[in-house]
Each structure stands twice: as structure tokens, then as C-alpha cells.
Amino acid sequence: MNTLIIVESPYKVPTIKSYLGKGYKVTACNGHVRDLPKSKLGVDIENDFAPDYINIRGKGDLIKALRKEAKGADRIFLATDPDREGEAIAWHLSSVLGNDSKKIKRITFNEVTKSALKEAVSHPRDIDIKLVDAQQARRILDRLVGYKISPFLWKKIKSGLSAGRVQSVATRIVVEREREIREFVPKEYWTISAKLSGDDTFVAKYYGDKDGKKDINNEAEASAILSQCEGKTFVVEGVKKALKRRKPMPPFTTSTLQQEANRRLNFQSRRTMMVAQELYEGINLGEAGMHGLITYMRTDSLRISDDATAAAKAFILSKYGDKYYPSTPNVFKSKKNSQDAHEAIRPTDPTRTPDSVKGKLSNDQFKLYKLIWERFIASQMCPAEFDTMICDIACGEHIFRAGGYVVRFAGYMSVYDDRTEDSDAEDGLSAASLPLLTEGQLLKLIKMLSEQHFTQPPPRYTEGTLTKILEEKGIGRPSTFLPTITTITGRGYVKRNGKVLVPTEIGEITTDLLMDNFPSIIDYNYTADMEEDLERICRGEIPYVDVLKDFYVDFAKQLSAADETLAEGRITIAPTETDIICEKCGCKMVERVGKFGKFAGCPNYPTCKNTKPLDGGTTEEPKTASEHKCPKCGKPMYLRKGMYGSFFACEDYPNCKGTLTFRKDTGINCPKCGKMLVVKQTKTKKTFYSCEDYPKCDFSSWDIPQERKCPSCGGLVLKKKNKEQYECYKKCGWSESK
């Protein structure tokens, strides 16, 4: 029987082919093939919000190819991603392929492994229309919000802005945190500690007086305590010893993976999810073949399959021994509103340790796989055990406290140590043992220490902490966290300042406008409740049209009111003032953005046209330095643009006429000889690529070399100019369209 399997990503194709063998043809649809049109609303509000789906522009050739493959197949398995977005893609595929329910079936798998695929093809099912309806409801809601509200922003603020059901709420979160920081008033406080000596020296921190007062608000209060303790006797008043157990953290969900990768690896969310996608779709492990190394990476579930639990148990027992595995397997409870359709993120095979595959992975792939593998293995191990001791030490009416711990049994921490300075501080313990102290023991004061502090404002959000707060508030799903952050930064509502996210002036103005005119759209509870309604649609508890109707009743009223309120006037965004003084007219210059980046301009423009570079920007076309030396005078050469394309010219050009033909290294090795591929231009400004040793090495191409390798044969991948079409230079038969 001839079976056609259609997946979303072309990178899965070689892995799946290697597992299924003859009788199976595997191809990719590259995501959605149909969607709402961009040129109009595409939703018939008067006719139960009927969507007007069209084939996505640029997907015509792909759809023809899929139809051709489908005609020659006895059965078709739609193996798009195992979530409601994937279910909708499968539904659209079924539509363009003829909606033959007897021939077209749906299969899903949580990991790209041989056993998972064999299980999936053995149990095909019909498309779950409830999941499709939930995706349609989300898509239509987002279209209504975006296409109905955005024109108000264009009229009131500036063109190009957009509103979104989730992105606007995420922007509000960042804006409100920034305003908390601005309004924050620091408060003074002091800390006191005593360096004491028993059998050994240690430090005890001031804990309060015997009336329960702990806060020290100013220097006078601190000085009073110091004077009352200086030269006095310190007595051990109480000693508490305990065995503390610390349980392992659960395996990763999408949200926690993004947070931890941001904290530990300094990965932005996009980088994390891109690398996770590669690990999920399959890695060429050489003689071992193609293997998906992790399970599906868009999930909010903490569930682990019985097979995975058993595999982890076997690995832990063989690697670490009986005492590292609990008497009963660790089970973690997912949050109330989690979909639980997929497992937590875990390695597909625990025996495939990070070190065993390190040579086959890129640096990023290795770091992320190691993080996922260690977290999963640790989650199945015994708790860590600590011997703790907390001592209360009295000096007159004042109490000092010292706490310490030593690790008795590392347990899961032998694989994954999740302790932080903050977690130890919360426990009031330090990672060191105290000297042996007994109740009633007298201690010698060596030195009293005091230090002034001021309370700090709440920290700005990073991508990781913003993802965490979105999840906690029930805003969005695992699949939407990354697109949401990408959207609000890409459209200028929020900017990155190092690792933290800061709202722009446009972000703040837009948030205020939406708060005043569309309060429900930007309300936290309303947005979270809408996510719950989408889940109810998934469960078949409510028709999706009813959700849209309920939403639009209030939304239409807000649109009508905004039409009157925002009819006149435009919000003017004042340019940001700098500390740079214009030497021509004495005014403070303002920040501008031009063709070549940021620059400082005089506010009296056009009367005064003085400008200065700012933050790496320039008001003139930047000159790009090169490694070349002028063949005539030996001075450095710069890349310039001329009538017939780019060329290298002496820094003293045109006084010195020394020039070289433009050549730019690509950073990619020639597939024939291993030397560098370079970019060159013809006299008619056409760009082409060739070996730096050309014509001795005859490799050249009009197509653009790519850093990635052909997933079929490992050859150099070339991209067609002006097309999202990729193929192997060896013409091995592999190609890809995006």
C-alpha cells in the first residue's frame, strides 16, 4: 500500500523516511497552506462570523505538488504538529486535497522516534473538528481585534501600528512595570551583623529584639543597637538541628524552558525555540542515523509517559545506583488549565547522554539538550538531603541568628543543581556548616558590622520573566509566548535594553489609548477567560460561534464609542531630548532615526541642519573597513559603492586611485575544495558566488550558499534568488519551499 505522509517541517522528512522505509512517501507542507486574506477582514460578521479562507500567496506550486502526490497515494496521513494549530493545518490540507475522509486521516506523535511513528501510523484517526474550531475561534478573534482596532491607532498615533488580543496585554504588563519603577520611592533600611567566635568564627545576622521589632529604619536606630551590643556578652539561646529534603523540579514545559534557558544560557526565547525545534525534528548522529532527541517542545503539561518513566528508572539505577531512585516514581501535577495533550519536554532516550552526542551537535544544540536532559533525569531522582542548623544568639534584648547547612546526600543535585542565592536567602541559610554550638554557650564578639541599604524597585521583565507572568495570568498558550514577545519588540512597543524589556513611548501611548477605549481587550482577566473559552471549545462544551458572538456584543459597542471619541486630533510624539548641545545654535539636540541609524539632530531643523552621530549611527553612508591594503600606497582600503557595483578603494580615494574588485567572504567553505566561498559582482552589478580560488576551483553559483547542510546527503544547500526555494548543489533530489 502506497502511503503519503505530510508533515509541517521539511527538516522532519529525512528522519521519518529513515524510520518508515518502503511504501511511505514523506513530504512537507511548510506550515499553513490556507489563511484569511491580508487585504480585507475576511470574516463575515453577519453570517455567523464565517471565515473566507484562501490559499496563501506563494503556496500555489506547493499545493499543486501535494495534490499530485495525493493522487498517486492509496492513503494520506496528515502528521502536522500535535496541537490545535497543527490540527487546523491538517484540516486545511484535507480541504485542498479533496476532503476524502476515507483516504485522508490524521496521525500525531509527541516525539520523532521509530517507536512513536510506528504507533502513530498504526492508529490513524479522523481530524478532531473541536480542536480545529478552537483554532478558528482564536484566529477570527485575533483578526477582528487587529483589523478593527488598528485603524484607530493609525489615525490617532501613526501609521503602521497594530493591536492584538494578546500582544496588547503583554505590552500593558511591560508598561505597568516601568511605571511602577518610575513611581517607586526608595526607603532606607539598615542591616547589622556580628562576627562571633566559639570553637571557630562565624557571622550572625541581626534578627530583631525580644519584643518582635525587626526593622532598622535609619542610622540612629542602627547606632543604638550597636552601642547596646558592643562589649556585651553573646549567649547561644537556642539550637535547632534538622534534616531538610529538597525535591527536584519537574521536567520542562515551554514556559519554564524559555525562562531557564534565558537565565542559565542567556538565550532569547526565539533562540531557545529554534534550537528546540531542531532537536525535536531530528539530528544526524552519523552511523546511528537521524534521531529526534527531545519530545514536542510546545507544551504546558508535566505528564511523563510510563515508557519514559521506566527508561529513566533503568538509566538512573545503572548509572547512579539504587539510593538515587525513589521508592515510587516522581509524579508532577500539571496546572489547572494546561492542555495536557503532550508530555513535558524530555529526551526521547535517556541513555543518549549529552556527552555521547556532543560531537554531532552545534554549540547551541548541545547546551540546550544538556539542560533538558539534566532537568528530566534529575526530576526522576531522589530528593537532596541537607543537615541544617539554626542558632538564636542573644545579646541583652537583641537576638541574632545564624544558619548553615551541609549536603548529606546530593540526590538529584548530582545531575542538576537548581539552588540559587535567592533560594538560600529565603531559607535563612548559608552553604556552610556552623561550628558546633550548644545552648547556653558564651560567645566572644570580634566585631560588629552595620550597613545602610535602600529598597529597590521591582526589576524590569526579561523575556523569561515576561513569559512566566503571561503563563501565571493565563494569557496565551505555549505556542504563543514567543510570537507575542517577537511582535511587541518587532513593532516598536517594547525595546530590549540588554536582557531587560523596556516600553517605548509609542508602547505607553498605545496602551493608554487602548485602556481608555477598549478596556476589555486589554484586561488581564478577560484575556485569560477567553483562553479558557478556547479550551472549552476544544473539549466540545461550547460552539465556537457562540464564543465569537458573546465577544462581539461588547466589542461592537466599544468600536462605536471609539469612533466618536477618537474622531479628531492626533497624538504628537515628542522626540527624545539628548544631553548633546548644538554648537551652532546652543539648543539641546534630539534623537532622530535616519537611513543609516540613530543620530542627534538640532530641534530647529530646517533652520539649523546640524547633526551628530548617535549610538553607532551616522548621518552619512558608513564606510566599511576591509582587511585589504592599497596596492599603490599601502594604506587601508574601504568598501564603497560605485556606478558598476561595490569595490574596495584606498582611504585616500580619489587622490589615490588604488582600487580592488569587490570580494566579500561568506564564511562558508567551498563544497569542492574547502576554501572560502566569496561574493563577487559582475560589471552589470549582478551578484554571484564562487570559490576564492576560482578559476582553479570551478565552483560558482548565482544561487545563495546557506550555512546549513542538505538533510539528505549533507551537501551544500543553495537558495534561489528572490524565492524561498532551497535545493542541494549536488542535485541529490532534495529541495524545499517556504
DSSP 124: -
Mean pLDDT score across all residues of the chain: 87
pTM of the model: 0.74
What percent of the chain stands above pLDDT 90?
A: 52
Flag whether 158 is in a domain.
Answer: yes
Flag whether 132 is in a domain.
Answer: no
Last residue of a domain, one of 454, 475, 495: 454
The DSSP annotation for 464-515 comes to HHHHHHHHHTT-S-TTTHHHHHHHHHHTTSEEEETTEEEE-HHHHHHHHHHH
Whether the pLDDT of residue 661 is over 80: the answer is no
- Shared domain for 645 and 699, answered yes or no, is yes
Flag whether 571 is in a domain.
Answer: no
What is residue 621's predicted lDDT score, i.e. its pLDDT?
Answer: 52
Whether the pLDDT of residue 647 is over 80: the answer is no
What is residue 674's predicted lDDT score, i.e. its pLDDT?
Answer: 78
- Shared domain for 296 and 375, answered yes or no, is yes
d(CA 640, CA 646): 6
- Shared domain for 532 and 495, answered yes or no, is yes
- Helical H segments across 5-128, by residue range: 13-20, 60-71, 84-96, 114-122
What is residue 595's predicted lDDT score, i.e. its pLDDT?
Answer: 53
Flag whether 570 is in a domain.
Answer: no
Flag whether 626 is in a domain.
Answer: no
Total domains in the chain come to: 6
Whether the pLDDT of residue 333 is over 70: the answer is yes
Last residue of a domain, one of 329, 359, 379: 379
- Shared domain for 702 and 653, answered yes or no, is yes
d(CA 737, CA 29): 9
- Residue 20 banded pLDDT, cuts 50, 70, 90: confident
d(CA 395, CA 228): 8
Q: Which of the residue ranges 308-312, 354-358, 431-435, 603-607 would you say has the lowest mean pLDDT?
A: 431-435
- Shared domain for 400 and 478, answered yes or no, is no
d(CA 465, CA 482): 12
- Shared domain for 584 and 731, answered yes or no, is no
What is residue 191's predicted lDDT score, i.e. its pLDDT?
Answer: 96
What is residue 648's predicted lDDT score, i.e. its pLDDT?
Answer: 80
CATH number of the domain bearing residue 284? 1.10.290.10
Flag whether 285 is in a domain.
Answer: yes
Domain interval for residue 553: 149-183+461-565
How does pLDDT run across 262-292, given as a tens digit for each residue?
A: 999 999 998 999 999 999 988 888 888 888 9
What is residue 624's predicted lDDT score, i.e. its pLDDT?
Answer: 64
- Helical H segments across 360-480, by residue range: 363-379, 421-427, 463-472
How does pLDDT run across 305-330, given as a tens digit for each residue?
A: 999 999 999 999 999 999 999 999 99
416 tagged catalytic:
no
How does pLDDT run across 403-452, given as a tens digit for each residue?
A: 988 899 999 999 999 877 555 555 567 767 788 899 999 999 999 999 99
- Cell output for 581: 548641545
- Shared domain for 389 and 241, answered yes or no, is yes
Indicate the pairing of strand 24-28 with strand 3-7. Answer: parallel
- Shared domain for 208 and 160, answered yes or no, is no
Flag whether 731 is in a domain.
Answer: yes
- Shared domain for 371 and 337, answered yes or no, is yes
The DSSP annotation for 524-586 comes to HHHHHHHHHHHHHHHTTSS-HHHHHHHHHHHHHHHHHHHHHHTSS-----PPPEEEEEPTTT-
What is residue 331's predicted lDDT score, i.e. its pLDDT?
Answer: 92
Give the sign of the dihedral formed by CA 484, CA 490, CA 495, CA 498. Answer: positive
- Shared domain for 556 and 665, answered yes or no, is no
- Shared domain for 549 and 663, answered yes or no, is no
What is residue 423's predicted lDDT score, i.e. its pLDDT?
Answer: 53
- Shared domain for 269 and 366, answered yes or no, is yes
Flag whether 135 is in a domain.
Answer: no
What is residue 552's predicted lDDT score, i.e. its pLDDT?
Answer: 94
- Residue 370 banded pLDDT, cuts 50, 70, 90: very high
Q: What are phi and psi of 249, to 5 degrees?
A: -75, 155
What percent of the chain stands above pLDDT 70?
A: 93
CATH number of the domain bearing residue 400? 2.70.20.10
What's the start-to-end Cα distance of the chain, in Å? Answer: 30
- Identified catalytic residue from 53, 206, 280, 296: 296
How does pLDDT run across 676-722, given as a tens digit for each residue?
A: 888 877 656 577 888 877 777 888 888 888 878 887 777 888 888 76
How does pLDDT run across 214-253, given as a tens digit for each residue?
A: 999 999 999 999 999 998 999 999 999 999 999 999 999 9
- Cell output for 218: 535609619
